[in-house]
Amino acid sequence: MPTSLVGVNTLIPNRLSKKSISSGKIQSLTGYQKIRTEVAYGNNSRIDLLLEDGNEQCFVEVKNCTLVEDGIAYFPDAVTSRGLKHLVELQRQVREKNRAVMFYLIQRMDADGFRPAHHIDPAYSQEIKRAVKNGVEIIVYDVLIDLEGISLNRKIPYEI
């Protein structure tokens, strides 16, 4: 039984992430002049957020995380071939000398940590480990959520 409200609107993570980056609330993603959404790239993919400053690009893939067990948020909550593809695409961007970030937004307030859900999708779990070794960054935040609204809350530690 959740000890927090759980955000189930799947449009929120991308919108909230973009708004939070634009307003400087995510310190590690500040300094970019332009933010574009749903930009085509790679092998028939679209990146959620493309941050740009001159020739510098930062590819940000946003993942909605709602599964929490014993204070740990897990992603994914089901096997995800699409999520696996995103990890491969982000690694390609790092090889091309771009910055690449997996941004996990936990749409609830009862998580104290984050981990890949190896028990649900071992292939995704292995690929995220490979991606981190290859230079893809991980950022995890939770939210403040009540019946009036939702906002970015705090940076959550993770283990890969």
- Separation of alpha carbons 142 and 66, rounded Å: 10
Q: Could you state, in order of their start, the residue ranges of all structural domains in the chain?
A: 12-155
According to DSSP H, which parts of 53-117 are helical?
Answer: 81-95
Task: State the fold for domain 12-155.
Answer: Trna Endonuclease; Chain: A, domain 1 (3.40.1350)
Please give the model's pTM, rounded to 2 decimal places. Answer: 0.95
Q: What pLDDT sits at residue 2?
A: 65
Terminus-to-terminus CA distance in the chain, angstroms?
A: 25
Residue 153 reports pLDDT greater than 90:
yes
Contact 73/140 with Cβ under 8 angstroms?
Answer: yes
Q: Do 7 and 150 touch, CB atoms closer than 8 A?
A: yes
- Tell me the pLDDT tens digit for each residue of 100-114: 999 999 999 999 999
- 52-75 residue pLDDT tens: 999 899 999 999 999 999 999 999
Question: Exposed, middle or buried, 69 (CB in 10 Å: 0-12/13-18/19+)?
Answer: exposed
